Amino acid sequence: MRASGRRTWQPRAEASPQVVNRGSGVEGSGEQAGMSGSLGRAAAALLRWGRGAGGGGLRGPGVWAARSSSGGCSAEQLDALVKKDKVVVFLKGTPEQPQCGFSNAVVQILRLHGVRDYAAYNVLDDPELRQGIKDYSNWPTIPQVFLNGEFVGGCDILLQMHQNGDLVEELKKLGIRSILLDEKKDQDSK
Amino acid sequence: MELSAENLREKLQRELEAEHVEVEDTTLNRCACSFRVLVVSSKFEGKPLLQRHRLVNACLAEELPHIHAFEQKTLTPEQWTRERQK
């Protein structure tokens, strides 16, 4: 384990073990400064939940080793990556420390729905990944969201799906129950 | 190819036969050349969000590699009317 004592859910395929706060190139920094309190809480919550099951909960090293040894970012590798988990996002930064307002929005939306177990890849750590994923999905920007191996869109689309209820439905198809449904049930039953 | 709000607006309007286009230069809010667009076109009818956005991306294929951040909203004329009534 690269970061000792950290049994947490960790973004996989990260080139460096520590999360580096890149000050420059931060988009929407105003939103981030304001949200630092809740991001701190979210991060703390993530640390508590972690990734349950055995093997220290870290499937990361296996994935990372496979990518670095081949030294590339081929369509086949990306294809395998996006199909490996039900929910896969490519971000600038990490869920604990998004480095861009749009990436942050994706993280927050997933958090709102109670989606904790998802794969997040930081494109800032890997220029090949950053370009490779754009070529793979034929989509010009980051963040990128994949559900069940299929490209869904970026931040704009995820936000609209969240607002119009489509995201709850899509998560349901993946066997993920959005906590927003539970909140609604609580409200209805009062 | 000039990266101005006006040029983008004109291109989107023309190629997507748009009823209404708004292009906002959001560069000051971001760290580099950035835009937010609203496109209203009947070409979006019956198309899911991703397909609509891809149409816009295709229209601006030449410009997008030079744009750092890009936000888009795509509506059919009917959706646009409803939104304006809110």
Domain boundaries, chain B: 5-80
Across the interface, do A153 and B70 touch by the CB < 8 Å criterion?
no
- B28 to chain A, any CB pair closer than 8 A? The answer is no
CA separation for the pair B71, B67 (Å, rounded): 11
Is the reported ipTM for this assembly greater than 0.95?
no
**Which residues in chain A touch residue B53, judged by CB atoms under 8 angstroms apart?**
153-154, 156-157
How much is the average pLDDT of A55-64?
A: 33
On whether the pTM is more than 0.90, the answer is no
In tens, the pLDDT along B42-81 reads 999 999 999 999 999 999 999 999 999 999 999 999 999 9
Chain A within 8 Å of B54 (Cβ-Cβ)? yes
Whether the ω angle into residue B48 lies within 30 degrees of 0, i.e. cis, is no
Tokens representing A107 are 């993280």
Nearest 10 degrees: CA dihedral of A146, A150, A156, A160? -110
Q: What homologous superfamily does CATH list for B5-80?
A: BolA-like (3.30.300.90)
For residue A190, the model assigns a pLDDT of: 61
Q: What angle do CA A116, A122, A124 make, to 5 degrees?
A: 155
Helix (H), strand (E) at residue B58: helix B49-59
DSSP state of A14: -
- Residue A24 above 60 pLDDT? no
- A28-59 burial code (b ≥16 CB/10 A, e <16): bbeebeebeeebeebbeebeeebbeeeeebbb
